[in-house]
Amino acid sequence: MAMGMRARESVNMSEDLTQAIAPYATALHDVSLQSHCLSCFHRIPAQSPHDMSCTMCGSVRYCCSDCLISDCEVHSSSGECCFFVKHLREASPSTLTEETSDIRAALRLLYSLETRGLVSSDSVSSSNRIGGLSASGIREVLEEGGEIAEGVLEGSLLMLSARKSRMKNYVDLSYGLTIEKVALWAVMTNSVEVQISEEQSLGIAVYGPSFSWFNHSCCPSASYRFVLVPQNEGCTSNKPESCVVPVSKGAAPDVWHAWQNEEAGFAHAQCKYGPRVVVRCTKPINKGDEVFITYIDLLQTRIVKYCYRIGLVKVQGLRCDARNLKLPHNAVTDPAIEDLDNNLQQAISEYSFLDDSKACCDVIESMLSENLMNDLQQEELSPRKYILHPLHHISVSSFMILASAYRCSAFKSSTDNLHGENCDFIFRMTKAAAAYSIVLAGATHHLFLSECSFVTLLSHFLLSTGQSILDFAECIKGETRKNMPEAIFSFASCSTNSAKHDSVRYNQFRSTCEKFGKHLLSLSLQCWPFLAQGIPCLEKIKNPIDFSWLGPAIFQAFQLSEEDSFNLSGKHAPATLIEQQKECILSLAVCCITYSKYLARSKSFLFVTLGRLEESSSDWAVKIFDLNNGAKVYSRIKEYYLHFAKCLLIPTSINFFRVMSVPNDQLTNIGPTYKYGKNHFEHVDRRSGFPVMADEYDRSSYRRSGADDEEGGYNKTNTGDYGRSGDDYGRDTGLFNKSSNDDNESGYKNTNTDEYGSTGSYNKSNTDDLTGGFNKSGTDDYSGGGGYNKSGADDYSSSGGYSKSGTDNYSGSGGYNKSGNNDYSGSGGGYNKSSAGDYGSKYKDSSTGDYGRGDEYKKSSSDDYDGGYKKSSSNDDGYGGSGYSKPSTGDYDSGKNASNTDGYGGSGYNKSSTDNAESGYNKSGTGEYGSGGGYNKSSTDNYESGYNKSGTGDYGSGGGYDKSDAGDYTGGYNKSSTDEYATGRGKTSSDDY
Ligand SMILES: C[S@@+](CC[C@H](N)C(=O)[O-])C[C@H]1O[C@@H](n2cnc3c(N)ncnc32)[C@H](O)[C@@H]1O
C-alpha cells in the first residue's frame, strides 16, 4: 500500500497547499552543530549572551534558554546526548568522520513516536511503516548488502547502545528487524534537507504524513520551502487549511491513526521551534490529481545517488510521470556517457583541489569538442561519433563549470595588471566566460520552457550571465581604468511582502517568459558568432538560445523570422565586433538581468525550495566603468532596462541609477570570484550565480565593497580593514563597530586597552581580560571553554554556563549559580546585585528586601514578591498570587502545590508528604530536593545543579528571582562576595551599577 497526496480542490499555480507543518524530528548536520541552535536552527550570533550548550555532552548549542528548555527533554531522553558521549568516546576514528545527522534524527524520531504511542510492532512487520511513514524496502536493502546496508547496520547499533544506556527498561518491539533499523531507514527515505535562503543545507528534518506522503516526480507540480520559528512566524503560510488529502489503497488503521495524530497538531506541540515546511503548487492542479514534489536537484548529474537515498532505484524502480524532455535516447543511455561523466567529475575535483582553472577548462573543452553533437539529424546516422547532446546534463554542467572557471581566471588576472598581454588574456577569458554563460542560460531556458521547475536555476544563471556579459562589455572598452567614472546601477526590486501572498497567473507568466526568450534570441543572434569565435566546442553551437537548429526532434521554442533563420545558418558570422554589436552585447546583459529579476520575483511566488536567488530587500546593483563617457553608456542601459521592463511586472523606479566619479585608488573590481566547489551549490555567490571561493565573502552577508559601498553587514573597505575607516568594523551605527580610537560606541566596545566598553554589553574590567567568549583569566577568572565560566576556588569551572564549584557553590551543570553569601558573580550576562541591595537600572532592589524596578521581578515589601514570583504573606515560603505561589502555611496552591505542610505534592513544583517527590522539583530528604531531575537541593543546603539554594532562608532557584535572608539572591541575578559584579551588565565598583 503506497500513500500519496492529491488535491482536495482545483488550485491555481503558486498557491500554498499546506499550512506550515512542524517536524517529527530534526538534526543539524555535524558541521552546523557549533554554529546553529539545535532547537530552532537559527545561526547563533558570535558572542551571544544567551548562548548555551548541553553540559552533559558539550556537543550541541542553543541560542537561548527557551530553545534549551524546549529541546532538553528530547535531546536527553531520546539518547541523543548519550550518543554524543558514547560515540565520541567509543567510535573508531574512521566512523568519527561519518555524518551522524541520520542517526540522531532517527533517535529523535523514535522518541517522538514512542511518546505518542505511534510505534507499533504490527505496523512495522506487516506494512513496513513506522508512525505512518514508509520504511519499505528495508528488508531488500539489508539482504542485498553493500554500502547502504552497512550504514543502516552500524547506525542502528550506535542507536541501540545510546538508547539502552538511556532507558533502564529497554524493550525491543520489533520482530526480526530492530526498531532502530526501521527508524533509521524511515529517516533515510523520508527526511529532507533543511535549506534556508541561500545558506547551505543546515540539517535534516523528518515530517509526519502530511508532508512525507508526497511522492516524487521529475516534473513536479509542487515545491516546498522551510520557515524558521519564532522569527519568521509571520510569514509561514497563508493557508487556513490544507488543500491536499491522502490518497491510498486500503491503508491500515494504525496508518490513519498516525495521520489523525498529526492533523491534531501533536507535532506542533512537541516540536515548538523546529523548522516548518510549506508545500506550494507550481502548476495549476485539478481536483483529485496526485500532487508531486521532486526529491532531487533536477540538474544534478548524479541522480542515481539521490535515487538510492530515497529508495527509488532499489525498491520499485523510478516511477516518474516526467514528460520526456526530448533528449535523444542514445544520449541518455549510452554507457560511454558514464565515462564522460567520470571525466567531468575528475576535472571538477582537480579544479576544486588544485585550483588549476586552466587545466580544468582544457580537459572539459577537449571532451566537448570530441563529443558534442552539432546536428542531431546527422549524428543519428552515425551515433557513435558524437554522443553528447548539447542539452544533456553533462553538457549543461560543463558549460556551468567553464563559465565559472574562465571568469575566475579573468578575475585573478585583472587583480595583477591591466596592460599589454595580460589585457589580451583577460579579454579572452572574459569573452569565453560570457559565451559559456550565455549557452548555459540558453540551455536552461530551453529546459525551463519544457518544465517550469527549472525556474530557480534559470533565474540564477541569467543573473550570472548578465554579470559576465557586463564584465565583457567593460573589457571591450579596453584601456586601463585610470580616472574612469564609475556608475552604479540599481535595479529596483519588487516588494517581497507582496510577493509572499499573491499568486501568479500561469498564462501571463508563460507569455512573459516567451517574450523574454525572443528578446534573448534576437540579441544573441547578432553577437553570438563573435563570442563563440575561436572556441571550438562553442562554434558547434549555432545558436545558444534556441536549439531548434539541432533538428525537428528538439522542442521548437520560437517561431523564427526569415531573417533570424538566415542569421542562424551562420552564413554571415562576423569576425570583428562592430559598434552595433557592442551595443547589442550591453543590451543582452541588461535583458538577462531583467529577465532574471522577473523570474526571481515570480519564483518567490512559485518556488521557494532552494531559495538560492531569494529577493533581498536591497536593490541589485551593477557597477561599470567607462573611460570616455560613462553617462552615455548608462543612459543606454537605462533605456534597455525600461524597454525590457515595460511589458513586464518589474517596477521601473526612477532613481534606479546614479553616475559618479570615484578616485582612482578607490576603484575596486566588483567582479565576484567564484569557483566550482565539490558540491555544486556550496557557497554560491548570489550575484555571480557561481560557487564562491573559500576566502571570499558571500555578498549576501559579509560584503566587501568599495569606499562608497554601504550595503550593510560586515563591510571591508580596504586591506585589513572591515568598515569605513581605519579601525572600524562596519558602518557607523550598526553592530560590531570599532571607531578609530579603539572605542566602539555601542555593542561590542573596547573603551581602552583592557576594557570592552562602559555602557554596552560584554564589558570587561581593566585588570583582567576575557580571552574567549565571556571569559576572564587569572585566579578569578572564567577560564572554561564555554561562556561565563570562572575557575578556582570561587569559580565557575565547568564547561557550561554560570557554574561555580566549591563548598558554597552550585557546581553542577546548570546556570545562574551563586558563589558566596552575597555573591552573584557568575552570570556575566548581568542581573547582578550590589551589597547595598541595589540592582542598578534593571532588576533592582528598591528597598532592602525588595526586588524590582516597578514592574519586573520585584519584591515590594518585607517578604512579598508582587508580580510574577510572589510570596504572599510575611512568613510563609510561598509566592502568592500567580506563578510559583505559596499562599499560606507551607502550602503551594494551584500548580505548584504542596500536599501537606512541607510537601510539594502532585504535579509541578511539588513536594510530597515525605518531603520527597520523585520527579520535577523534588525534595528527597530533610531540607533536600531529591535526586531526580530539575531543581534539586542536596542535604547540606546545597542544590547540586540548576536552580539552587545555598543558605538558610534564601531562594535557591538560580533561574528565579530569589532572595536569601542575607540579602542574597542566589540564582540568576547574583551578586559576588566582594559586592562586585564581575562581568556583564554588572557593576564593578562597590555599590552601584
Ligand atoms: C517520502 S515517501 C513518499 C510516500 C510513500 N509513497 C508512502 O507510501 O508513504 C518516499 C517513498 O515513496 C516511494 N516513492 C516516492 N516517489 C516515488 C516514485 N516516483 N516512484 C516510486 N516510488 C516512489 C519510495 O518507496 C520512497 O522510498
Distance 140 CA to ligand 1 centre (A): 15
Which atom of ligand 1 is nearest the CA belonging to 1? 8
Q: Which of 513, 403, 520 is nearest to 464 (CA)?
A: 403
Dihedrals φ, ψ of 485, to 5°?
A: -70, 150
Q: Can you give the pLDDT at residue 449?
A: 80
Residue partners of 510: CB distance under 8 A and separation at least 6: none
Distance 691 CA to ligand 1 centre (A): 32
pLDDT tens per residue, range 491-548 = 444 443 333 434 556 777 788 888 888 889 888 888 888 899 889 889 888 889 887 7
Distance 710 CA to ligand 1 centre (A): 48
Name the residue at shortest CA distance from atom 20 of ligand 1: 319
Question: Do 921 and 773 form a contact (C-beta atoms < 8 A)?
Answer: no
Residue with the three cell numbers 525588595: 850
Query: Which among 5, 204, 212, 216 is the best mutation to test ligand 1's pocket, defined by most ligand atoms within 8 Å of the CB?
Result: 216
Distance 307 CA to ligand 1 centre (A): 11
Distance 252 CA to ligand 1 centre (A): 17
Q: How far is CA 697 from CA 691, 704, 729, 875, 912, in A?
A: 11, 7, 15, 62, 59
Cell numbers at 884, concatenated: 510559583
Tell me the one-letter amino acid at 879: Y
Ligand 1: does its nearest atom lie under 6 Å from the Cβ of 270? no
Q: Can you give the pLDDT at residue 77?
A: 93
Q: Can you give the pLDDT at residue 13?
A: 73
Which atom of ligand 1 is nearest the CA belonging to 209? 9
Name the residue at shortest CA distance from atom 18 of ligand 1: 319
SS3 state at 910: coil
Cell numbers at 653, concatenated: 523606479
Distance 62 CA to ligand 1 centre (A): 34
Distance 297 CA to ligand 1 centre (A): 17
Distance 215 CA to ligand 1 centre (A): 5
Distance (Å, whole) CA 389 – CA 391? 5
Q: Can you give the pLDDT at residue 317?
A: 35
Name the residue at shortest CA distance from atom 22 of ligand 1: 312
Q: Can you give the pLDDT at residue 299?
A: 57
SS3 state at 928: coil
Ligand 1: does its nearest atom lie under 6 Å from the Cβ of 190? yes
Cell numbers at 606, concatenated: 512559485
Distance (Å, whole) CA 656 – CA 94? 55
How many other CB atoms sit within 10 Å of the CB of residue 307?
Answer: 18
Q: Can you give the pLDDT at residue 637?
A: 64
Cell numbers at 981, concatenated: 559584579
Distance (Å, whole) CA 876 – CA 977? 27
Which range (57-66, 200-209, 638-647, 932-941) has the least confidence? 932-941
Ligand 1: does its nearest atom lie under 6 Å from the Cβ of 216? yes
Q: Is the pLDDT of residue 445 over 60?
A: yes
Strand spans (E) along 699-753: none
Ligand 1: does its nearest atom lie under 6 Å from the Cβ of 314? no
- Please give, one letter per residue, the 3-state secondary structure of 396-462: HHHHHHHHHHHHHHHHHHHCCCCCHHHHHHHHHHHHHHHHHHHHHHHHHHHHHHHCHHHHHHHHHHH
Q: Can you give the pLDDT at residue 635?
A: 62
CB burial readout 164-181, b (16+ within 10 A) else e: eebeeeeeeebeebbbbb
Residue with the three cell numbers 525550495: 609
Q: How far is CA 916 from CA 73, 426, 891, 897, in A?
A: 22, 79, 15, 13
Distance 927 CA to ligand 1 centre (A): 58
Q: Is the pLDDT of residue 624 over 50?
A: no
Distance 154 CA to ligand 1 centre (A): 24
Name the residue at shortest CA distance from atom 4 of ligand 1: 213
Mean pLDDT for all residues in the chain? 61
Distance 57 CA to ligand 1 centre (A): 36
Ligand 1: does its nearest atom lie under 6 Å from the Cβ of 320? yes
Cell numbers at 163, concatenated: 538508547
Distance 470 CA to ligand 1 centre (A): 45
**Average pLDDT of the residues in 766-794:** 37
Ligand 1: does its nearest atom lie under 6 Å from the Cβ of 134? yes
Helix (H) or strand (E) holding 281: strand 276-281
Distance (Å, whole) CA 589 – CA 443? 17
Cell numbers at 602, concatenated: 515570480
CB burial readout 109-139, b (16+ within 10 A) else e: bbbbbbebebbbeebbeebbbbbbbbbbbbe
Distance 30 CA to ligand 1 centre (A): 27
pLDDT tens per residue, range 162-181 = 998 877 666 665 556 688 99
Which atom of ligand 1 is nearest the CA belonging to 311? 27
Q: Can you give the pLDDT at residue 572?
A: 47
Q: Is the pLDDT of residue 442 over 60?
A: yes
Which range (468-482, 586-600, 897-911) has the least confidence? 897-911
Residue 860 CA to chain centroid, in angstroms?
46
* % of the chain exceeding 70 in pLDDT: 44
Residue with the three cell numbers 558521549: 85
Ligand 1: does its nearest atom lie under 6 Å from the Cβ of 4? yes
Distance 293 CA to ligand 1 centre (A): 11
Q: Can you give the pLDDT at residue 691?
A: 31
Q: Is the pLDDT of residue 354 over 60?
A: yes
Question: Do 813 and 826 form a contact (C-beta atoms < 8 A)?
Answer: no
Distance 223 CA to ligand 1 centre (A): 16
Dihedrals φ, ψ of 340, to 5°?
A: -60, -40
**Average pLDDT of the residues in 372-394:** 63
Which range (39-48, 574-583, 956-965) has the least confidence? 956-965
Q: Can you give the pLDDT at residue 29?
A: 94
Name the residue at shortest CA distance from atom 27 of ligand 1: 311
Distance (Å, whole) CA 335 – CA 301? 15
Question: Do 237 and 18 form a contact (C-beta atoms < 8 A)?
Answer: yes
Distance 216 CA to ligand 1 centre (A): 7
Distance (Å, whole) CA 333 – CA 975? 74
Quick one: 369 exposed, middle or buried, by C-beta within 10 A (0-12, 13-18, 19+)?
middle
843: left (phi over 0), alpha (psi -120 to 50) or beta: left
Sheet holding 485-491, edge to edge: 620-625, 485-491, 657-661
Ligand 1: does its nearest atom lie under 6 Å from the Cβ of 378? no
Which range (298-302, 585-589, 896-900) has the least confidence? 896-900
Q: Between these two residues, 353 and 345, which has the higher pLDDT value? A: 345
Q: Can you give the pLDDT at residue 681?
A: 26
Residue with the three cell numbers 569565453: 432
Distance (Å, whole) CA 71 – CA 91? 25
Q: Can you give the pLDDT at residue 431?
A: 92
Ligand 1: does its nearest atom lie under 6 Å from the Cβ of 319? yes
pLDDT band at 438 (very low <50, low <70, confident <90, very high): very high
Ligand 1: does its nearest atom lie under 6 Å from the Cβ of 212? yes
Ligand 1: does its nearest atom lie under 6 Å from the Cβ of 107? no
Work out the angle at residue 936's Cα, subtended by the Cα atoms of residues 932 and 941, and round it to the nearest 5 degrees.
140
Q: Is the pLDDT of residue 874 over 60?
A: no
Q: Can you give the pLDDT at residue 278?
A: 87
DSSP 8-state assignment for residue 36:
B
Which atom of ligand 1 is nearest the CA belonging to 3? 8
Work out the angle at residue 325's Cα, subtended by the Cα atoms of residues 319 and 330, and round it to the nearest 5 degrees.
90
DSSP 8-state assignment for residue 929:
B
pLDDT band at 263 (very low <50, low <70, confident <90, very high): confident
Q: Is the pLDDT of residue 72 over 90?
A: yes
Q: Which of 853, 852, 878 is nearest to 863 (CA)?
A: 878
Distance (Å, whole) CA 885 – CA 891? 9
Distance 136 CA to ligand 1 centre (A): 9
- Quick check: ipTM above 0.85? yes
Quick one: 293 exposed, middle or buried, by C-beta within 10 A (0-12, 13-18, 19+)?
buried
Ligand 1: does its nearest atom lie under 6 Å from the Cβ of 312? yes
Q: Which residues pair with 461 in a beta bridge?
A: none
* % of the chain exceeding 90 in pLDDT: 13
Distance 219 CA to ligand 1 centre (A): 15
Which atom of ligand 1 is nearest the CA belonging to 320? 19
Tell me the one-letter amino acid at 646: K
Name the residue at shortest CA distance from atom 21 of ligand 1: 319
Q: Between these two residues, 952 and 435, which has the higher pLDDT value? A: 435
**Entry field: residues in the chain:** 993
Residue with the three cell numbers 556608475: 487
Q: Most distant CA pair in the chain: distance in Å?
A: 102
Ligand 1: does its nearest atom lie under 6 Å from the Cβ of 321? no
Distance (Å, whole) CA 68 – CA 655? 47
Q: Which of 65, 69, 83 is nearest to 27 (CA)?
A: 83
pLDDT tens per residue, range 706-737 = 333 333 333 333 333 333 333 333 333 333 33
Dihedrals φ, ψ of 740, to 5°?
A: -65, -35
Distance (Å, whole) CA 250 – CA 252? 6
Cell numbers at 899, concatenated: 500536599
Which range (147-161, 446-460, 840-854) has the least confidence? 840-854
Ligand 1: does its nearest atom lie under 6 Å from the Cβ of 2? yes
Which range (93-102, 284-293, 449-458, 481-490) has the least confidence? 481-490
Ligand 1: does its nearest atom lie under 6 Å from the Cβ of 3? yes
Question: Do 399 and 495 form a contact (C-beta atoms < 8 A)?
Answer: no
Distance (Å, whole) CA 610 – CA 224? 9
Helix, strand, coil percent content, the chain, rounded in steps of 5: 35, 10, 55
Distance 2 CA to ligand 1 centre (A): 7
Which atom of ligand 1 is nearest the CA belonging to 190? 1
Ligand 1: does its nearest atom lie under 6 Å from the Cβ of 127? no
Which range (25-34, 77-86, 600-609) has the least confidence? 600-609
How many other CB atoms sit within 10 Å of the CB of residue 714?
Answer: 17
